[in-house]
């Protein structure tokens, strides 16, 4: 008995509908290359001990920290460097 995986089902569906369906394979997830993880880590570090009364207070704290990061390009560049990426001028 052959085991049917979701990949097999998806492949067959794609082949049967190739006239209108285009499928692209996503790259493998690599957290060390994800710039967003570095930025989010900095935000979480600042709001980690926040005792918020409601969701709007958390939202304001996150937005405030993200706004502060806009004016600290060296912090964002550090995330790029940590991911092995270089920003060329």
Residue 53 lies in a domain: yes
Residue 89 lies in a domain: no
First-to-last C-alpha distance (Å) of the chain: 59
Residue 87 lies in a domain: no
Local structure of residue 72 (DSSP, 8 states) = -
- When divided into structural domains, the chain yields a total of 1
User: Residue 41 sits in which domain range?
Assistant: 6-82
Nearest CA to 76 out of 26, 35, 28, 45 is that of: 35
Give whole-number Cα distances, 57 to 53, 62, 64, 67, 72, in Å: 7, 9, 10, 15, 23
Which range, 30-34, 58-62, 83-87, is most confident? 58-62
Average pLDDT, the chain: 81
For the record, the structure tokens of 7 come out as: 């990949």
Distance CA 46, CA 69 (A): 12
Which range, 4-13, 42-51, 72-81, is most confident? 42-51
Tell me the mean pLDDT in the region 31-53: 82
Residue 1 lies in a domain: no
Quick: pLDDT tens for 6-24: 778 888 888 888 899 887 7
């Amino acid at each position: 008995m052959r085991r049917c995986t979701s990949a097999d089902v998806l492949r067959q569906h794609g082949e049967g509908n190739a006239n209108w369906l285009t499928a692209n394979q996503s790259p493998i997830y690599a957290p060390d290359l994800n710039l967003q993880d570095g930025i989010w880590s900095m935000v979480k570090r600042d709001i980690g001990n926040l005792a918020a009364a409601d969701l709007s207070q958390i939202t304001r704290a996150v937005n405030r920290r993200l706004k502060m990061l806009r004016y600290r390009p060296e912090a964002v560049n550090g995330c790029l460097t940590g991911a092995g990426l270089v920003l060329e001028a």
